[in-house]
Amino acid sequence: MTHPEKDALNSSAFMKACRREPAPYTPIWVLRQAGRYMAEYREVRAKVSFLELCKTPELAAEVTVTAAKRLGVDAAIIFSDILVLLEPLGMELEFTKGEGPVLHNALREPAQIDALREVDPSESLGFVFDAIGLTRKELPASLPLIGFSGAPFTLAAYAIEGGSSRNFDLTKAFMYRHPGAWAELMGKLSRAVAAYLRGQIDAGAQVVQLFDSWVGCLSPSDYRRYVLPHTSEIIRRLQPGVPVIHFGVGTGMLLEAMREAGGDVIGLDFHVELDSAWARLEGVGVQGNLDPVTLLASREFALERAGRVLEQAAGKPGHIFNLGHGVLPSTPVDNVIALVDFVHERSARSERR
């Protein structure tokens, strides 16, 4: 029996790149592609808070689909936030104007780890699964949908710091002083993340991405000791055959260890050159890595820099074009659309030569 929709998804340029198969052009999507730089998103946000938007499946689906269709990208990513997973554990999360996320009961003592609940995502995070189901129905049959979660270290860092941090001194000090409690925390987070991602896949996501946004604060030896086993266990628990994108920021010195931890595609930020970074990563694809600030310069400059990224990828199967981090709120949306069109046209022309 044939499944036209499944066949259309599997044969898309994005899915082919995830499997490091030749594609007709380089696929592209952008981190934070549904966000404040887009008027349609701002109109929705004017009516609800950020958390309300995340927890209202119809609205989360709306902004996800609107962004994907407006930009013409090769994959949609479900609208949510990595921190919604911390609430079911017992963390008190608030997004405050001008300050970003705040965890009011930050974890500072080992005894607090014992009090954290085990998470059943089907009970506490069903709004994300519902949003995925609604989004999948509205997307074109050939357009893949990406689910995601924060990785355990980044979630732990938010929970311990109580919000964002520059040096992550509280997190690292906890990790060094209380290795047993750290392992317990990472175990609870790993089980929750794995179940959460499995649920997103069951709900209709074709690919999942692990955001380890803050792990770049660690040395390679600390990453291998305190993080790698837990990340690897998450990926091991996911459904076979579903591609995993493993992304971090400031992780140029961790790339080999991240590849060892797992993932079909390693996300590259803009602090590394794509060609030299990819040469260090055997057997995986790469995602990235245009500096998002280039989209605030002239369009000609931004596209010139995008061309350099494509040149460094050299048409090798397995490259997914993306920014090295998220779209900035002041980015002209027309520049993002021009980037998408440029990547499609330039990479297609290169393959015809």
Per the CB < 8 A criterion, the answer to whether 64 and 131 are in contact is yes
| Marked catalytic residue, from 20, 25, 32, 136 | 32
User: Tens digits of per-residue pLDDT, 285-294?
Assistant: 999 999 999 9
All structural domains of the chain: 4-352 (3.20.20.210)
Is it the case that residue 2 has pLDDT exceeding 80?
Answer: no
| Marked catalytic residue, from 20, 37, 70, 81 | 81
User: Tens digits of per-residue pLDDT, 136-170?
Assistant: 999 999 999 999 999 999 999 999 999 988 899 99
Q: Around Cβ 305, how many Cβ atoms within 10 Å?
A: 17
Which run of H or of E encompasses 248?
Answer: strand 244-248
pTM above 0.85, yes or no: yes
Is it the case that residue 350 has pLDDT exceeding 90?
Answer: no
Per the CB < 8 A criterion, the answer to whether 337 and 71 are in contact is yes
| 136 in catalytic set | no
Q: 272, exposed or middle or buried, with CB in 10 Å at 0-12, 13-18, 19+?
A: buried
For 51-65, 205-219, 294-308, 339-353, which range has the lowest pLDDT when averaged over its residues?
Answer: 339-353
User: Tens digits of per-residue pLDDT, 208-223?
Assistant: 999 999 999 999 999 9
Band of residue 6 on the pLDDT scale cut at 50, 70, 90 = confident
User: Tens digits of per-residue pLDDT, 217-261?
Assistant: 999 999 999 999 999 999 999 999 999 999 999 999 999 999 999
Would you call the peptide bond into 289 cis, given omega within 30 degrees of 0 as the criterion? yes
Average pLDDT, the chain: 95
Given this model, what pLDDT does residue 4 score? 67
Per the CB < 8 A criterion, the answer to whether 185 and 117 are in contact is no
| 32 in catalytic set | yes
| Marked catalytic residue, from 36, 224, 308, 346 | 36
| 346 in catalytic set | no
- Helices marked H in the chain — which ranges? 4-10, 13-18, 39-45, 50-55, 57-71, 86-89, 110-115, 121-124, 126-138, 152-161, 169-177, 179-203, 220-226, 228-237, 255-261, 274-279, 299-313, 333-352
| Marked catalytic residue, from 19, 45, 108, 191 | 45
User: Tens digits of per-residue pLDDT, 162-186?
Assistant: 998 889 999 999 999 999 999 999 9
Is it the case that residue 349 has pLDDT exceeding 60?
Answer: no
Is it the case that residue 85 has pLDDT exceeding 50?
Answer: yes
Per the CB < 8 A criterion, the answer to whether 200 and 121 are in contact is no
> What would the mean pLDDT of 60-76 be, rounded to a whole number?
98
Distance, in Å, from the CA atom of 281 to the CA atom of 23, rounded to the nearest integer, reads: 20
* CA-only gyration radius of the chain, Å: 19
Q: For residue 210, which of 159, 250, 261 has the smallest C-alpha distance? A: 261
Total number of residues shown for the chain? 353
Per the CB < 8 A criterion, the answer to whether 231 and 263 are in contact is no
Relative to beta strand 319-320, strand 285-287 is parallel
| 334 in catalytic set | no
Is it the case that residue 3 has pLDDT exceeding 80?
Answer: no
Contacts of 106 (CB under 8 A, 6+ apart): 159, 160, 161, 162, 170
